[in-house]
Chain A
């Protein structure tokens, strides 16, 4: 192992420099504002917690994805690999007496030990919501509509959310596949998005020809509301039919929220996490190959923390959103001003720049030894203005007018 170079960083973490850091903050603010307007209240939980909290949640099978260390008591603690488990813990403990439904939101850094190739960082930012204590399809539709609204507010366009229902697949597999082991193989293949293996398992391990004909259609069950009618013909399973009814209702509520244009039904959608129990969804935007948001219903998680309650929610990957924005919509920056002055002009320059800031200008005052010399070599992304011999040296009409205003207001 070679010693790190002085300025080297561990793999998977990164510095966010200007102007990207400001844009990131801006996107987070817009999303947080949207969550707030829908009545979701922000929550902050510790950066690290006992490993058990997460093993109780989605990380049962992904233990090695957690950054672990030993706390002074000798117990294992981890940097939070998601926000769902901490929120479930809080709702079941500190907010135990708080009546449901509870609507919470967060914006926070998430840490995962994973291969640092291909858009999977070790530290990244998630903004999301959890809606606890409402099992109605209206709650599912609410979080989907909120996801769409938040993505629009963040500045995205042309994105699409795929909606699935894990109970449809569960019911369908139980109806048509006798062997539990084979059901597991089919589920795993769909979760891995490996339709070739899925089809192969169907053809080789399912005995009835009729069942095979039904099952091979699953990956192609995607599109608009009419997909549900196609799917209805494939099953008599109560669970699967109830799941289709559930999606139909969610779709209807989404039309009232006016967001079906951004939605697509995909009954083969199987998100990796095993804890999902109902409608699930995942969002994609142009030019970025990775999902920008994902979420769904997880009615069995809260009970593990001692307060049984249905729940749904989603998270938005802030870096992914920024990636789309940088690629698709070049930012037009607000003009920035830099006023150079020498010692003898300190008054009025400092007062003038304060006046400009109060008028929403972005302006920096910089003392220099010699204004003429300092004018050379200034950065090009700011408008540089010299203040010399008691005068503002500029043809910028707006700034000249502002200086005149300033003179009238403060310097008789």
Chain B
């Protein structure tokens, strides 16, 4: 195997199971106990790859600083983090959208329009480009709550099935971007570990093309 001494940062949570399935399908050496273990760093059986299990928002940071050579993380997180990385591959999993949502009939004019979001950068950039002046309020979770309790008229958040929005009586007003899971690489690693990274990407590419993963 031409893959040697590679450190891969994986995003814990939503996309983890699909990511691992994809890596295993590609014949990459994923430790069997990765799902069950509580360790944060795991080695593949042959020692070729170290896996770091990280919070998704930290993955771009790990990769930019080079403590991980490769990272697997959603485009929403990447766009928000705005790090200088190589974005090598769309893994086609974890598909969703970042959208603007709110009550079905929002007030027609906002005196002080407010938008709540876990993605302050994406939200700020989007409304700036539209020429709208809004105050973006950063929230860590349960963003759907904001319109219900009058903190903000609108929210910017990821929408997968729309069920959470629906259950809270909210609707999507506009879509900002399509999201899927991406493979990113550190700039130094992309050069100095080019053989290993190219092989890693090539294997995943074969799976994505052959299986037609959508």
Binding site for B on A (CB under 8 A): 118-119, 158-160, 162, 192-197, 199-200, 220, 222-223, 264, 266, 284-291
**Per-residue A-contact encoding for B82-118, CB less than 8 Å = 1, 0 else:** 0111111110000000000000000000000000000
Residues of B close to A194: CB separation below 8 A: 87
CB–CB A222/B194 < 8 A: yes
Q: List 6 A-B contacts (CB under 8 A).
A: A158-B192, A193-B87, A194-B87, A195-B86, A285-B192, A291-B187
> CB distance B65 to A160 under 8 Å?
no
A289 to B185, CA, bound (A): 10
Q: Contacting B66 at CB < 8 Å: which of A158, A162, A220, A289? A: A289
> Do residues B194 and A264 form an inter-chain contact, with CB atoms below 8 A?
yes
Cβ-neighbour of A289 out of B64, B88, B89, B90 (below 8 A): B64
Chain A residues in 8 Å Cβ range of B63: 289
Distance, CA A193 to CA B191, complexed state (A): 13
Closest to A159 in B: B192
User: Within the complex, what minimum Cβ distance (angstroms) separates B139 from chain A?
Assistant: 21
The count of A-to-B residue pairs whose CB atoms sit within 8 angstroms is 61
Asked whether B188 lies within 8 Å of A193 as measured between CB atoms, the reply is no
Given A118-B65, A118-B83, A222-B194, also A288-B88 (CB < 8 A): no
| Contact status B65-A284, CB under 8 Å | no
Decide: A196 and B65 in contact? CB cutoff 8 A: no
B contacts, CB < 8 Å to A: 61, 63-67, 83-90, 182, 186-189, 191-192, 194, 198
- A196/B87 contact (C-beta < 8 A), A118-B65, A290-B187 known: yes
Measured CB to CB, the closest approach of chain A to B173, in angstroms, equals 25
**C-alpha spacing A263/B63, complex, angstroms:** 23
CB contacts (< 8 Å) of A288 on chain B: these are 66, 188
Given A284-B188, A285-B188, answer yes or no on A193-B64 (Cβ-Cβ < 8 Å). no
Are A290 and B89 within 8 A (Cβ)? no
Q: A193-B187, A291-B187 are in contact. Are A286 and B192 (CB under 8 A)?
A: yes
Q: With A193-B87, A195-B88, A196-B182 in contact, is A118–B191 under 8 Å at CB?
A: no
Q: Indicate if the CB atoms of A193 and B66 lie closer than 8 Å.
A: no
The reply to whether A193 and B65 contact each other, CB–CB distance below 8 Å, is no
Least CB distance, B183 to chain A, in whole angstroms: 9
Other-chain residue from A193, A200, A266, A284 in contact with B192 (beta carbon distance below 8 A): A284
Tell me which residues across on chain A come within 8 A of B188, comparing CB atoms. 284-286, 288-291
| Contact between chains at B85 and A193 (CB < 8 Å) | yes
- Neighbouring A residues of B192 by C-beta, 8 Å: 158-160, 284-286
Interface centre among B65, B67, B84, B188, by most A CB within 10 Å?
B188
Q: Is the CB of B187 within 8 A of A284?
A: yes
CB-based contact A118/B84 at 8 Å: yes
State in angstroms the CA–CA spacing of A207 and B61 once bound together.
37
When C-beta atoms are compared, the residue in chain B nearest to A160 turns out to be B191
Q: Which of A194, A220, A285 has the most CB of B within 10 A?
A: A194
Complex-state Cα separation, A288 to B67, whole angstroms? 9
Distance in angstroms from B192 CB to nearest chain A CB is 6
Other 12 A-B pairs with CB < 8 A, given A118-B64, A192-B87, A291-B188:
A119-B65, A162-B191, A193-B87, A194-B87, A195-B86, A199-B90, A284-B187, A284-B192, A285-B188, A289-B65, A289-B186, A289-B187
Cβ of A79 to closest chain B Cβ, rounded Å? 23
Chain B residues within 8 Å of A159, by CB: 192
Residues of chain A lying within 8 A (CB to CB) of residue B61: 118
- Residues of B near A223 (CB, < 8 A) are 194
Nearest-neighbor residue (CB-CB) of A324 within chain B: B188
Q: Are A193 and B194 in contact (CB under 8 A)?
A: no
Q: How far is the CB of B135 from chain A (nearest CB, A)?
A: 19
Instruction: Say whether A287 contacts B187, CB under 8 Å.
Output: no
CB < 8 Å neighbour of A284 from B90, B191, B198: B191
Cα-based distance from A156 to B67 in the complex (angstroms) = 19
A291 to B192, CA, bound (A): 11
Instruction: Report B17 CB to chain A, min CB distance, Å.
Output: 22
Chain B residues with Cβ below 8 Å from A199 are 90
With both beta carbons as reference points, the residue of chain A lying nearest to B66 in the complex is identified as: A289
Contact indicator B90/A264 (Cβ below 8 Å): no
Chain A residues within an 8 Å CB radius of B83:
118
Closest Cβ of chain B: how far from A114's Cβ, in Å? 11
Q: A199 to B201, alpha carbons, bound, how many Å?
A: 14
Tell me the minimal C-beta distance from A151 to chain B in angstroms. 14
Residues of B within 8 A of A118 (CB): 61, 64-65, 83-84
Query: Do B89 and A196 touch (CB < 8 A)?
Result: yes
- Residues of chain A within 8 A of B84, CB atoms compared: 118, 193
In the complex, chain A residues whose CB is within 8 Å of the CB of B88: 195-196
B contact residues around A192 at 8 Å (CB) = 87
B182 / chain A contacts, CB cutoff of 8 Å? 196
B80 to chain A, nearest CB (A): 13
CB proximity of B201 to chain A, nearest CB, Å: 9
Residues of B within 8 A of A162 (CB): 191
A220 contact set on B, CB distance < 8 A: 198
CA distance A285 to B189 in the complex (A): 9
Write the nearest CB–CB distance from B114 to chain A, whole angstroms. 23
Q: Given A118-B64, A194-B87, A195-B87, do A264 and B191 touch, yes or no (CB 8 Å)?
A: yes
Q: Nearest residue in A to B63 (C-beta to C-beta)?
A: A289
A294 and B189 alpha carbons, distance in the complex (Å)? 16
**What residues on A are CB-neighbors of B191 within 8 Å?**
160, 162, 264, 266, 284
**In the complex, residue of chain B having the shortest beta-carbon distance to the beta carbon of A161:** B191
Q: Which residue of B lies closest to A219 (CB)?
A: B88
**CA separation between A312 and B141, bound complex, in Å?**
51
CA of A223 to CA of B198 in the docked complex: distance in angstroms?
Answer: 11
The 5 closest A-B pairs by CB, nearest first: A289-B66, A284-B188, A193-B86, A194-B87, A284-B191
